Structure 1
């Protein structure tokens, strides 16, 4: 519909966005026509020298009309707000079986890494019909991840993580742009999303150079940076263990609570004294400036893996993370091919409270 006016629709979100846009355009056009029509009609009927009676309408009718017009306008506004807000909120909540992709923006490129370790620059390969969850951050300034055919736009912010998701409905290659002015080569910050049939995607994935997936890379980094000296089971330092921690609501000093998710883990690494877990001293040093955004993503993936359920998939040929971290939960690597089972399961009882 209106192919000459609207870009190609290639995701499940695109029809919703287009419907809102067209509805707003139609309502705005109707209001403009009504106002212009009344102005022209009144200008002719009540022009200078006209014999039209300016007092023909009683004041009661004019007041009722004004009240009805105001109420109708308010109703339309509330309806449009609800409609658009509900569509926007759905863009934040990815399906549980979504493929997880980490996106790091920097001047002037997009770096993507899937949970199985596949890395790309200015490209992202995904299977058609599978939900894809994007976790975005920036290494320098604000960028904006924009795919016109998907009607997808989300800012990548320095020092923060933002999320969005999409499900492609067509195979093909689609433009990836940055729509936030980010410097002199902003216009050249281009990329592409390659949507493939699931079988072709599986073959492409198997042909990628082997490398650590995010969780195993995070496990190695966890040991190299000395995190295991405090957070590993049996450590002499009074610090929380990490097994089974992901997704739990934990108490903080001062009576507040927090949910252990990506944003919380990031804050705990960069600003450890801001939200101190109840029962622990604020002794953890800040790693601000010592870890890159990619390394923080790897550590986050490792902590998430320690809280996975019993039936989560595992990278073939690798021992589970739990076999090298006593007391940890089972390994987790989100399914990269549609249909693979993923189950986060319940968190173990009595697990520690904070990374």
Structure 2
């Protein structure tokens, strides 16, 4: 059976050949003079205007796209771990959910995604939101829901037998309802406190505490700062750097230190690495963040921010019971 496009393609190619031969340079074909309006100045002006329009549209679209990746400073932070075949979410205050995500309306929410096994893709069609969750890597995205309701959550990367059943929902609530829902969740330690315990239990404090006899970098206040590495390179102490330093400590060795730290690959889960990262971020200092009207103080959920430091936030200090920070924390 002949493809329907073949006759049309043949007709176009035939016309091109006929016109190329009939009106070739030097042929006796009748050529009427061009209209007076078609001049060199007109062609130059039209071409310049077209180029300017193209560049303007390109700049406008690129600016809007780049701006969409800039997470607002007051965004509520949610950690998402994908696993065959479920979505596990945890807010910075410790509230955990499986295949559900509660968020307040008209509030920006930052998602930090990773995967425990294969590549998954976090997709909320109603929000035009899609971001891959990769094993052994962190990816980020953000959104701000503008209408309350329940919206479907899908995985759009084939991830195994039950890929089509890896479903969830995003529940967008009024700020007051969200605050009540949040306060009704089982109490538990926030990510920073979990990381604080892990920092001691896993032996990190034995090397990185200020009074340690082992020559290792002091991690207090390191978050967000440049770190000089061997070979003259500079790295920024962000979530990706912390994760790589835990799993691949020999790759980026801090200048002036020997590569003696063991790898924790296979010894720490993704959730534990997230908790340690939250704790190390809390060791830094940042200006206070304005509260979202109608919501609890979300300062501890804002990337780069931290509550006021206490002795329990210093590496090697004993863990103390403290009240968990107030809330966690959605742009279509």
TM-score scaled by structure 2?
A: 0.76
CA distance in 1 between partners of 2:233 and 2:180 (Å):
48
3-state SS of the aligned residue for 1:324? Answer: helix
Report the alpha carbon displacement of residue 233 of structure 1 after superposing the two structures with TM: 1.7
Q: What does 1:164-203 align with in structure 2 at a 5 Å threshold?
A: 164-203=141-180
Q: Deviations over 1:135-181 (max 9, x none)?
A: 11111222221112212111111111111111111111111122222
CA distance in 2 between partners of 1:274 and 1:332 (Å):
38
3-state SS of the aligned residue for 2:150? Answer: strand
Question: Cα RMSD over matched residues?
Answer: 3.4
CA distance in 1 between partners of 2:63 and 2:323 (Å):
31
CA distance in 1 between partners of 2:286 and 2:139 (Å):
25
Of 112, 128, 143, the match for 2:120: 143
CA distance in 2 between partners of 1:309 and 1:332 (Å):
20
Q: Does 1:322 align with 2:310?
A: yes
Residue pair 1:99, 1:334 contacting (<8 A) in 2 also: no
Of 120, 124, 132, the match for 2:101: 124
Of 263, 276, 279, the match for 2:240: 263
Q: Deviations over 1:258-278 (max 9, x none)?
A: 111111111111111111111
Residue pair 2:77, 2:109 contacting (<8 A) in 1 also: yes
Report the alpha carbon displacement of residue 87 of structure 1 after superposing the two structures with TM: 2.2
Q: Which has the higher contact order (CA 8 A, sep 6+)?
A: 2
CA distance in 1 between partners of 2:284 and 2:323 (Å):
8
Residue pair 1:232, 1:325 contacting (<8 A) in 2 also: no
Question: Partner residue of 2:196?
Answer: 219
Residue pair 2:91, 2:328 contacting (<8 A) in 1 also: no
Report the alpha carbon displacement of residue 65 of structure 1 after superposing the two structures with TM: 7.0
Report the alpha carbon displacement of residue 335 of structure 1 after superposing the two structures with TM: 5.8
3-state SS of the aligned residue for 1:250? Answer: strand
Question: Partner residue of 2:66?
Answer: 89
Q: What does 1:304-323 align with in structure 2 at a 5 Å threshold?
A: 304-309=281-286, 322-323=310-311
Residue pair 1:306, 1:332 contacting (<8 A) in 2 also: no
TM-score scaled by structure 1?
A: 0.72
Q: What does 1:1-355 align with in structure 2 at a 5 Å threshold?
A: 54-57=31-34, 61=38, 71=48, 74-309=51-286, 322-326=310-314, 336=327
Structure 1 residues 178, 82: CA separation in 2 closer, same or farther (over 3 Å shift)?
Answer: farther
CA distance in 2 between partners of 1:70 and 1:181 (Å):
46
Residue pair 2:205, 2:316 contacting (<8 A) in 1 also: no
Structure 1 residues 314, 263: CA separation in 2 closer, same or farther (over 3 Å shift)?
Answer: closer
Structure 1 residues 332, 149: CA separation in 2 closer, same or farther (over 3 Å shift)?
Answer: farther
Unaligned runs of 5+ in 2: 1-11, 20-28, 290-298, 302-306
Question: Partner residue of 1:10?
Answer: none
Q: How many residues align structurally?
A: 287
State which drifts further: 295-304 or 133-142: 133-142
Structure 1 residues 290, 203: CA separation in 2 closer, same or farther (over 3 Å shift)?
Answer: same
